[in-house]
Structure 1
């Protein structure tokens, strides 16, 4: 930054040229780039402000004086000052102009030059708004010169009257008045400059003139033509007046107060602009309040509440402070005998109306205005203001009114104007505001009200003594903690926590306050889930808050309109219920059972969701429930079915909630709590019906319900029924024609226990069942031949279920599984997952095959860990897994690369297997696959743990991390295959970083170019006309040859050319054909005649393509290639000339003869298709000649 400042200030203003202007532009742009980095923490700039601002302002000051003394160099001086002002304006926008202006020079000699420079900048107009703002802010300091401005004005007439306004002041006022109508930030600076100028003791005449002008401006007629100007000018004038009343003395402004109050009232109530302009309303209220302060003498009213001395140690120790020795005022106080100007009543009324405004800034200004005015009012009048504010906190008022009233209440309390006798009314209404949440259609409003209510609580904690506020602690503390833990908005949670923390420190009356504050801090409450599931259970350890939080979740959050809030509340009630299971059994279950059939969807859904969780809580705690509790739950499912609550709006979420309830009921069944077989059949039927729902969450809940049924209900009574369910769903997953049905069956199969697989009577049937289910799932992971039947979600679910069943079989402790079945399951599972990594199917949603690949990679660590327990993982399988994963680690989709890297780290480093969406209870540990080839290479390039793994979504990181794999012979082809897909994709950053990494690797590893060429040829030959693979391979080939990484005279050049020509043959993909022509063009200039002829023949064939774009591209590439030939022959030169003289947009039939000429010039034989076409043409012409004579006509007629 210092170097940039020196460059700006040292560049001479004399003899400037265009290079100096360009250098200024570059320097300013660099300066702005540096400054913008500090925008989040601008105070960091404070130590260096002087060193940056002073040289720049010296240059501006020097330019202003030079422009005054040397008229011939004005243009250069102004250009230099303009560049410095742009840098200063950028600094002011980050740090604030009021801070920066302290470092500006304040010598009185700069006043006139600065005014003159400002006028010239305004007249110039273009690109000088930064200069105008900086100069205006500079003048706000120069206007405070401690001398009579008449003595500074060089144009003053010594014989004139002293009452005349100095010309320099008139000029400055004229410029600032102009800027008051400017829409940019210079308007605010001009208002402050005017305020500082006109409030000087020697500026009474200028102040009178400005007041007259401002009144005329504000009350002027606004027609359609002037409205555009007035919409910017009126806020500027109001801001200037408000600044004058803020800075000026009461004696100085009192003569103008009546008129300015009329102006403010007119703007606030009768001016048409006020209805559309938020700023006009806000500034009108600000001006009115400051005028009201001028009407009243400055004083500290004796009736306000004064807390007195404060000691944190006394607060925390609970020591009572002595009552203040100062007596609260009585009606006989002298302060209350003073008269209040009659306009103050109207000013207060305007502020109260402003509390109801729709805009926050107007409400906030009104609240502060009420606080300032009330601090000078008599006690009775001030109490009326408090009553009016409290009246705004009514159920019939809007959310804007509640918000404004909360802000005003906080301001009054903060200033000691809310007396303790009013707390009885204020605290309950504040508590209502803390839970203010009104639903409006598909959303709710009230977050701003709750945030403001927390601000009120914060103000209460700072304003009152512990003894005064003690009666309200038991009400307010639980309510603040409710908001801190359960509010939807993070700012409300943090605001409530700050208020609680302030109250703990200043009042010292909140039970367990220090313990709670250390846990419920700013960061822990940032996450909504963490606040509800971690912080709230900690707080519920204290009995003072437990029931309040439980009741809040039960009554408010479980009935909330938002689905996510109800779901989180269900988890919360389970976490909190473990601390008080008796309350759950006595109160919670009864309450939610009574709500379960409510007509309101939100209430009904929250109740059904929570019933199951409460049953689990009571079952774990062995809490006794009512005898008919389970019967009521069983009847509930059937009654909702009869009432058709699973159809229509909300039917799907009710199905999901009911399935979760069924799951919990099955998990709770024991000897003391049973359900009859009829209810069990109804539950199972409902869950199976829900499996056919198209909603994935409902299917997951239904599969969990069936899994709970098979694991618990029939564990002790045989698993024959579960066995039948298993076989039926195994048949559905293969044979059903509906994708949604197959999807549900594929998902549910993974939840069946091992006992259901082995429920047959003899070993042969057991083996047949096991193999049938595993085979069915394996088949379901493969895309169907019929495109209409394909369902990606079915394949994902089948992949996960196959892994789940395989892991359960491997971890089973029973000895009914023989070694052949273990080998079959192992081989099938590994082969299936490896096949899933080759799923690149696409539908109208995009690359849906990536879902299957991702799920397969997630399953690999768990499956490998389970197979290692049985020693069922072969060495070749391990190598195949690593090869497939490395290919995925280089592909183009970010999340696929991330998951591949995570899986690789787990398999190479070992450790606890990460289970994602897998219903496996056993703890599994992966042992590092140290037997795979080149294991040391994998160890060197992979991180030690998953936590320390780089973010694979950053392409610059992942390719650099895994580049050493290209030196491993066992994995280089697979890695390059995935790498090509990234290099040949359409993402700019991905292509750039991956291509650069590949070029660096080619230079790093000897022999890699040959492997790359062989890999490209292999991809083209093994994936003929598979554009997903071949198009990226062609792009990579073109890029590598263009960068000189591959040689034209490569040993495999002819094989590469033939593969490219074969891929382009009969293709209709224009982008592929254009890329193929670019690849072939690189070999036209090869020294090897075979390579040259093959490449040229391929390009000439593309010049006969049906697509004009392909023909033009092929001709252009051939032309450029021929020009690049080192020693061209006469035929080559003539061919290039022929290519340039013809338009290849013409149809191929028109350009056929031209192509023949090019074939001849290049010494190439005509291809077979041209010879054949020529022969057919000769035969057709011969027939035409034969049939065109009179003799042929006679012969045809039969004569």
Structure 2
């Protein structure tokens, strides 16, 4: 089915709940059975390998690997099946073949059957009269309890099901039924029946083949007269005595139900009708709907529908709907003028006679119950049964069935009922059994099903319902004339576009895309259909982010879809249980705002503001982010048109934005600040500042996964807030506010909670220059206390890391001025202090239960040293003296011998950046010429520092340079105790190399 097979019970299948794989599975597209000669060789080699277990396993495995390649294109085997079967059956028929060889040949036959399917393979079995007796005789050598040879019994039963169809009375084959000893031999008819019965109750695959044998053998003219009643009595008696609460009973019931279902499928109606009522009564008594065995419930539904078809005469309903034109080419040429519909409903069957037994009502009731089953395969079987049986009912009763189906779509019903109902409606529509008069009732239900999503605990159910609803739309496109669906075109097209672009699950997006494409091709009435199909094809909708942020913008450019897409995001997606979907939805609203800014301002925002202060956490989160994104998008739009953002807002909207500040995330503050909302001197700013501070103080209370996001959002919001609302017309800060804010933040740097130190360190680093002016030394002293290791906070590696990052940010923010005041610029009076702080971080080798946590500090120190050094060399290179440059290069070289690949790679990158920087070059680098020879500029990009085999041969060459010798050797000494064999090997090689080039220190 083009719209994905329904899978499982509708449970969500997003990996980790957040991520979605974008990789498309790629199958092998084969053109022919290329390995035919190899397969021939493997079959011919069986006689030589069967005795050696190892060689036998290798041969079998090769055969399986080759055949499995054709699972998706089994038709390529068709022209080769006959010779493969003959080669293998020649082995079986050879009386000199030992038993292990025969079993191996049958195993190969089964592998071929598994790939191509037994129905195709069955027709190729030899079925002459002379084949019947030998096949029967082979069963005498079989042990049903030998689980090593079940493939032999399976293939023999299939072979027997073909040979038993010989067009002669089986009694003629019995001859003289007296044996040589004078005992009466069992007739062939009874022998075959006994074989079938014995294998219907086994626990292996042979049970399925036995059911096939029964369905073909019992319906023979001579057998049905003599044995059909007895077999049904035996089957029903066995079924009644078995219980699905035991494993043995389940196996027996499975065999009986398979046999009965196959028998009523292949048998003639006149032969089966006398027994149908009895079988239905027995089935009711079994109460299979109460079983927890999915397969038994499915077989029960399958048998019920076959019984229903037996009760009803096989006829094609004259009242069914028949579409007049099914030419795809004609529909693609469809113009604005819709062709006049033909009289597509065949005349009603007023004069047609129907004989509807009372049992049919029971059958339909059980199928409707099956539509609500908890397993998909049961619901799917019930849906097909509803479609088949409805096609044999009179128009009035068929309409009653449709009415009962619509009852499945009550919101009191479970997702299973909705899914089964959709499958059944699709089957009815596909068969022309859903008349146009009912479309008015069905379409609203399908539109609801396309967005069905019910919260269950931490996730939701409903993806299978949405997928099945797409299948209904696909089936309707093929079933109805465009004129019949014309009143619903806009609703269906908008719903399918929304599902194709905004659904959480990739299978639903692809199903909706396929249904939309089918409607465009078959109906030709969907607005801008070709353009949308081109943009939102099967592959394009595979990427969720691309759907939300890019494809949606293109489709929304068509006015027929814009408002419905926005309304869906506001009503269904910003309150979604998955946080990723909420965030993507708000970003999509940001991107869609330029399409209809007035609608966003006058309709969407007033609808969002009450939700932003509601009680539901998910709704509140999504509404707040949506307000932030829409406001920012309106600001950008206003800026492009040289207008003020307030032109888009009325007083009520502005007041609403201010009122939700206490319950929102820092993202709202950042976006409103970036949007330059007119809140200067407003008391709301104090509330926002309090919220940012509280977010930073609350970091120890949140989970480690959310902590980083909250920290980054708070710091970004602080920077935006300060830049917009804390600067006066003279581009300066209010002294009182500046002093209070800095004093508060610096005091928090000595908090007993490490995460609080991290947050406020980064917050200081994010402050704009006008707030740091005149306070630089005070800030540096505060950060220095964070960076330095003391006895009480030796384990606070993360706060030291963030303190180093903040120091570099502060230096970049205030800028460099050689003779400037040390409270305002990086200058000659504080440059040594700054480098001392950063270089101290290079000696942090703290370890705890998490491992080498000091590596985080060293990594941040290297990055900060590089950023500050590049800042100085581009502005005041005179501030870099030879001693500072030496310490920087030596310390980074030491880290380049790091045992952890990631940190070694970072150190190597920093080292080469400093060495190769030429805008202008960094002065006083020791041994620059030798370094440029060891690390040629041309290899800077290709050198893989992550690989010890590439990194250490270069690093060890620094041992020959006196300035670097001590530091590199120290790094190698620390790292030689590395945990990986590769690292130890190459570092050990470096240490041996050092013996030859060391000079007295």
TM-score band w.r.t. shorter chain: 0.7 to 0.9
Work out which of the residue numbers 392, 398, 404 in structure 2 matches 1:376: 392
Deviation at 1:242, TM superposition (A): 1.5
Does structure 1 retain, via aligned residues, the 8 Å contact 2:430–2:479? yes
CA RMSD of aligned residues (A): 4.5
SS in 1 for 2:455: strand
Q: Which residue of 2 is the match for residue 1011 of structure 1? A: 990
Does structure 2 retain, via aligned residues, the 8 Å contact 1:630–1:675? no
Q: Which residue of 1 is the match for residue 720 of structure 2? A: 708
Deviation at 1:221, TM superposition (A): 5.8
SS in 2 for 1:369: helix
Q: Which residue of 2 is the match for residue 554 of structure 1? A: 570
Does structure 1 retain, via aligned residues, the 8 Å contact 2:501–2:548? yes
Counterparts of 1:569 and 1:970, CA distance in 2: 57
Counterparts of 1:258 and 1:103, CA distance in 2: 37
Q: Which residue of 2 is the match for residue 266 of structure 1? A: 285
Are residue 43 (structure 1) and residue 69 (structure 2) matched? no
Are residue 459 (structure 1) and residue 475 (structure 2) matched? yes
1:897-912 alignment to 2 at 5 Å? none
Does structure 1 retain, via aligned residues, the 8 Å contact 2:818–2:827? no
Deviation at 1:306, TM superposition (A): 0.9
Are residue 495 (structure 1) and residue 515 (structure 2) matched? no
Instruction: Name whichever of 306-315 and 347-356 sits farther off.
Output: 306-315
Q: Which residue of 2 is the match for residue 780 of structure 1? A: 786
Are residue 328 (structure 1) and residue 345 (structure 2) matched? yes
Counterparts of 1:35 and 1:354, CA distance in 2: 37
Does structure 1 retain, via aligned residues, the 8 Å contact 2:215–2:259? yes
Work out which of the residue numbers 80, 91, 103 in structure 2 matches 1:82: 103
Counterparts of 2:301 and 2:571, CA distance in 1: 41
Are residue 352 (structure 1) and residue 380 (structure 2) matched? no
Counterparts of 1:179 and 1:679, CA distance in 2: 81
Q: Which residue of 1 is the match for residue 675 of structure 2? A: 668
Does structure 1 retain, via aligned residues, the 8 Å contact 2:470–2:515? yes
Deviations 1:1090-1148 (A, max 9, x none): xxxxxxxxxxxxxxxxxxxxxxxxxxxxxxxxxxxxxxxxxxxxxxxxxxxxxxxxxxx
Does structure 2 retain, via aligned residues, the 8 Å contact 1:965–1:975? no
1:230-249 alignment to 2 at 5 Å? 230-249=249-268
Counterparts of 2:236 and 2:135, CA distance in 1: 29
Counterparts of 2:272 and 2:628, CA distance in 1: 72
Change in CA separation of 1:283 and 1:706 when aligned onto 2, cut-off 3 Å: same
Does structure 1 retain, via aligned residues, the 8 Å contact 2:628–2:667? yes
Normalising by structure 1, what TM-score? 0.68
Q: Which residue of 1 is the match for residue 765 of structure 2? A: 750
Change in CA separation of 1:684 and 1:324 when aligned onto 2, cut-off 3 Å: closer
Normalising by structure 2, what TM-score? 0.81
Work out which of the residue numbers 632, 639, 651 in structure 2 matches 1:627: 651
Does structure 2 retain, via aligned residues, the 8 Å contact 1:730–1:773? no
Change in CA separation of 1:792 and 1:818 when aligned onto 2, cut-off 3 Å: closer
> Gapped runs of 5+ residues in structure 1?
641-653, 761-768, 913-928, 953-957, 1002-1007, 1018-1049, 1053-1199
Counterparts of 2:49 and 2:459, CA distance in 1: 65
Q: Which residue of 2 is the match for residue 684 of structure 1? A: 689
Deviation at 1:470, TM superposition (A): 0.8
Deviations 1:405-426 (A, max 9, x none): 1111111111111111101100
Work out which of the residue numbers 722, 725, 732 in structure 1 matches 2:747: 732
> Gapped runs of 5+ residues in structure 2?
1-34, 639-644, 920-927
Does structure 1 retain, via aligned residues, the 8 Å contact 2:777–2:823? no
Counterparts of 1:402 and 1:543, CA distance in 2: 31
Q: Which residue of 1 is the match for residue 900 of structure 2? A: 891
Work out which of the residue numbers 181, 199, 203 in structure 2 matches 1:183: 203
Does structure 2 retain, via aligned residues, the 8 Å contact 1:667–1:708? yes
- Greater C-alpha Rg: 1
Deviation at 1:131, TM superposition (A): 3.2
Are residue 312 (structure 1) and residue 328 (structure 2) matched? yes
1:719-1118 alignment to 2 at 5 Å? 719-720=733-734, 723-724=738-739, 727-728=742-743, 731-732=746-747, 734-757=749-772, 759-760=773-774, 769-770=775-776, 773-774=779-780, 776-777=782-783, 780-781=786-787, 784-786=790-792, 790-808=795-813, 821=826, 841-845=846-850, 848-849=853-854, 852=857, 869-870=874-875, 883=893, 886-887=896-897, 891=900, 932-934=931-933, 939-940=938-939, 942-943=941-942, 958=947, 965=954, 969=958, 991=981, 994=982, 1011-1013=990-992
1:441-452 alignment to 2 at 5 Å? 441-452=457-468
Does structure 1 retain, via aligned residues, the 8 Å contact 2:679–2:685? no
Counterparts of 1:590 and 1:911, CA distance in 2: 56
Q: Which residue of 2 is the match for residue 1193 of structure 1? A: none
Q: Which residue of 2 is the match for residue 1028 of structure 1? A: none
Counterparts of 1:221 and 1:44, CA distance in 2: 40
Deviations 1:972-1023 (A, max 9, x none): 999999999999777xxx65xx37xx87x7xxxxxx97634467x9xxxxxx
Counterparts of 2:818 and 2:554, CA distance in 1: 39
Work out which of the residue numbers 478, 484, 492 in structure 2 matches 1:476: 492
Are residue 64 (structure 1) and residue 97 (structure 2) matched? no
Q: Which residue of 2 is the match for residue 1084 of structure 1? A: none
Deviations 1:544-571 (A, max 9, x none): 1111111111222223344333333222
Work out which of the residue numbers 41, 45, 55 in structure 2 matches 1:23: 55
Counterparts of 2:67 and 2:817, CA distance in 1: 64
Counterparts of 1:791 and 1:898, CA distance in 2: 24
Deviations 1:868-904 (A, max 9, x none): 754869976885587467545x636xx7688789989
Counterparts of 2:73 and 2:354, CA distance in 1: 49
Deviation at 1:390, TM superposition (A): 1.1
SS in 2 for 1:436: coil
Counterparts of 1:58 and 1:909, CA distance in 2: 74
Change in CA separation of 1:521 and 1:803 when aligned onto 2, cut-off 3 Å: farther
Does structure 1 retain, via aligned residues, the 8 Å contact 2:243–2:250? no
Deviation at 1:445, TM superposition (A): 2.3
Q: Which residue of 2 is the match for residue 1024 of structure 1? A: none
Q: Which residue of 2 is the match for residue 1046 of structure 1? A: none
Deviation at 1:95, TM superposition (A): 5.5
Q: Which residue of 2 is the match for residue 916 of structure 1? A: none
Deviations 1:903-925 (A, max 9, x none): 8999999999xxxxxxxxxxxxx
Change in CA separation of 1:523 and 1:215 when aligned onto 2, cut-off 3 Å: same
Residue-pair matches, total: 924
Deviation at 1:222, TM superposition (A): 4.6
Deviations 1:618-667 (A, max 9, x none): 22223431135434433443xx5xxxxxxxxxxxxx4xx34222223322
Q: Which residue of 2 is the match for residue 129 of structure 1? A: 150
SS in 1 for 2:540: coil
Change in CA separation of 1:157 and 1:870 when aligned onto 2, cut-off 3 Å: farther
Q: Which residue of 1 is the match for residue 27 of structure 2? A: none
Change in CA separation of 1:334 and 1:574 when aligned onto 2, cut-off 3 Å: same
SS in 1 for 2:310: helix
Change in CA separation of 1:630 and 1:853 when aligned onto 2, cut-off 3 Å: farther
SS in 1 for 2:232: helix
Deviation at 1:691, TM superposition (A): 1.3
Q: Greater RCO between the two (CA within 8 Å, min separation 6)?
A: 2
Counterparts of 2:117 and 2:721, CA distance in 1: 67
Change in CA separation of 1:887 and 1:243 when aligned onto 2, cut-off 3 Å: farther
Counterparts of 1:855 and 1:47, CA distance in 2: 60
Deviation at 1:389, TM superposition (A): 0.5
